[in-house]
Structure 1
């Protein structure tokens, strides 16, 4: 059933225009489709996509909401920082970042940042 179907992440945005600017200016992404004026679909690699929709509930989750699998986390962090993305620092059991990047035993590297709406996003060298 679902195991062979594509998955689409869904992210909330309090201010859809501010979010659109963040995703364009900081992450280099443009929506591939606009639905009903304030729902934006972004296409990413390998047929994946995410929907950004307007709601007052944005920024309330305290967990990673979406992540990209990349081949070189350090390179991506450097490039995104150059575009103004600020990476989170963590120091807790099982997860400690150095210069915004965590190296996790058997799982590669990962780095986390917030979008303009307070959603926690991730890039990692592990498959997502």
Structure 2
């Protein structure tokens, strides 16, 4: 039934203008705005919907992962743009990059508290 549907993901924020500035200016993503919602235009062509919610509660999981080829350089660039990386355990270095089992990954939050990551390809 939904086999041919071009599904897309979405998540809420508590302030659309702060979210727009963060995703466009800080992360450098092409952001469209339509009917009071944002569409993040990412590589691959499938947009991500960001919608306002007055009783927004940040997700307790990673809502969006950004694959990168050089996580150290990307982490430095984002930190230079004011992004603060989360530290969840002792297996993360000073930059916030997790170096345990699995791929290299670093988590950070958007202004609404949603968890995002950069992850080494």
TM-score (norm 2): 0.86
CA distance in 2, matches of 1:70, 1:4: 29
Change (3 A) 1:122 1:57: farther
Aligned to 2:97: 101
Question: What is the 5 A alignment of 1:18-33?
Answer: 18-31=18-31, 33=32
Aligned to 1:15: 15
Match status 1:72 vs 2:70: yes
Change (3 A) 1:115 1:62: same
Can you give the 5+ residue segments of structure 2 that lack an aligned partner in the other structure?
Answer: none
Q: What is the CA RMSD across the aligned residues, in angstroms?
A: 2.0
CA contact (8 A) 1:19 1:115 kept: yes
CA contact (8 A) 1:66 1:121 kept: yes
TM-score (norm 1): 0.82
Aligned to 1:83: 81
CA distance in 1, matches of 2:4, 2:74: 29
CA distance in 2, matches of 1:59, 1:85: 20
CA distance in 1, matches of 2:77, 2:7: 27
CA contact (8 A) 1:58 1:119 kept: no
Can you give the 5+ residue segments of structure 1 that lack an aligned partner in the other structure?
Answer: none
Cα drift, residue 103 of structure 1: 1.7
